[in-house]
Structure 1
């Protein structure tokens, strides 16, 4: 406990220091201090004006960049996905506006969106892992080969992919007899939210969520579940691309987990600037590249293969 006498002495010292400061400020140092203060204020004001001009210039530059990209985008994506059937899979907390923009870009590329599947957080909840695994085991069809080794998420991803995508170009766009049963059961289990009778697609786009604000990082096990799902969709189709904003490619994000997984990144493509028009052009090109048998990681964060595929397939 602080001695009361020490406390009184400390208070007295503080008041004495304040008194001396006031006396000096009102006396011999007053003029000099006033001049220094005015000079500092003027300097800060000039610095603020300079920063404001820089911000305005950057905003104008961004506005021009976005306008330029928006004008060019239609010609850059036209017919890139002609004849392709694409399913959009939105992960929990994926930005709804981004999901819609991705759908619009796919259609602008003359691709057909077979539907949108909204995944729920329950799919990747560690406490629900056994439930997910058991349900997948009951839903597996005879034409699906389940891995001897692998996680519950690998097995569940394979079953969901069986319902949504196909490698058979002739079957793409048609409804499959197994889809209603699989999607219905996953829907009743609160694992997905989607039409239970979707036509099959031959390509898939997975929309990742941004990193949570406030420094909180997602559970790595959940990211592993989403990476496993992306790999399953890719293996069962002509290709898959995972898209998101730049935060999703930073430490703890879904795209970062994908890119840090050597097997997944050699199989599934990604684009980390899909919130920009230019990024969605890159996503369309990356999907066309997947359809042609290629793979790449594109965007602005970390080590990538560039802004977009160097030689996009298609017209």
Structure 2
């Protein structure tokens, strides 16, 4: 049985320990702890300053590189797309300034942007896969070479013909694409005439600076784009500009699926904007390529017309 003396000894031990702690904290340990903390703060501040300096140097280098690319583009883009009409097909999450940069370079190359349409998320909505497969059957009669059993590919062919032809079949196909409350396509700027080329522009990656990116939701299947743009490229000269930062990004998805369509990664950078007219010209001449810096790229930039 624990008696009063045991409690007394325990209390005395506790107070002695506290007293020793107070004495040491106010004496010999005070200076060493304070010095250690000051040293750590100084080191962290130095690391922060070094990182900030490297970041500023990197931003300066990127800006200088982009300025060089844009200056060089003014020398070798003119004439690349002379007399060519281009329509922009825009994916959800695409930034307006990226469209502006691409349009400016197409104009520098001698081409014209004659219209713009937006592709809705209905193309990749998993819950509408059966609908797309069934709906594609209505497109077949208006296409001269719809032989694929892939509904997404047939719909992509329909999109290509609707944008690059002016006959009654093309008009009907556009009506089908824009029909219903949840259409596959909405028209942002009605094409002034049939285009000869299609530039598909997608969002930046989720990790891109200044962009939230466009990460697919659980109800979306980004791999559906592979069939869509394979069909589009079968019907029209097509280049897809987007991101390949992660496996679910647009260009990464197309490359991993082996889609037969020209791709450019690093959308939002000067290189992608300048490469687009060159890639359109190369694709029209029969060369399908994968350009940029990320996984799956075959070359940094398309061939330059001499």
TM-score (norm: length of structure 1) = 0.79
Count residues in correspondence: 284
Q: 2 CA distance for matches of 1:144 and 1:200?
A: 17
Whether contact under 8 Å (1:123, 1:191) holds in the other structure is yes
Spell out, residue by residue over 1:141-178, the C-alpha distance to the aligned partner (whole angstroms, 9 max, x if none).
4552322x522212211222221136xxxxxxxx3322
Spell out, residue by residue over 1:60-95, the C-alpha distance to the aligned partner (whole angstroms, 9 max, x if none).
222222222222222231111112222211112222
Structure 2 counterparts to residues 31-110 of structure 1, below 5 A: 31-110=31-110
Q: 2 CA distance for matches of 1:37 and 1:284?
A: 58
RMSD: 2.8
Secondary structure in 2 aligned to 1:30?
helix
Q: 1 CA distance for matches of 2:88 and 2:121?
A: 17
Distance 1:258 1:163, change over 3 A: same
- The structure whose Rg is larger is 2
My pick for the range that moved more, 104-113 or 51-60, is: 51-60
Partner of 2:4: none
Distance 1:296 1:19, change over 3 A: farther
Q: 2 CA distance for matches of 1:218 and 1:199?
A: 35
Secondary structure in 2 aligned to 1:252?
coil
TM-score (norm: length of structure 2) = 0.81
Spell out, residue by residue over 1:111-154, the C-alpha distance to the aligned partner (whole angstroms, 9 max, x if none).
1223111011123212223333443322444552322x522212
Shift of 1:288: 1.3
Secondary structure in 2 aligned to 1:294?
coil
Q: 2 CA distance for matches of 1:222 and 1:124?
A: 5
Shift of 1:272: 0.8
Partner of 1:252: 248
Structure 2 counterparts to residues 63-212 of structure 1, below 5 A: 63-147=63-147, 149-165=148-164, 175-189=166-180, 190-194=183-187, 199-212=193-206
Q: 1 CA distance for matches of 2:114 and 2:294?
A: 30
Distance 1:38 1:215, change over 3 A: farther
Shift of 1:235: 0.9
Consecutive unaligned residues of structure 1, counting only runs of 5 or more, are: 1-14, 167-174
Q: 2 CA distance for matches of 1:284 and 1:57?
A: 30
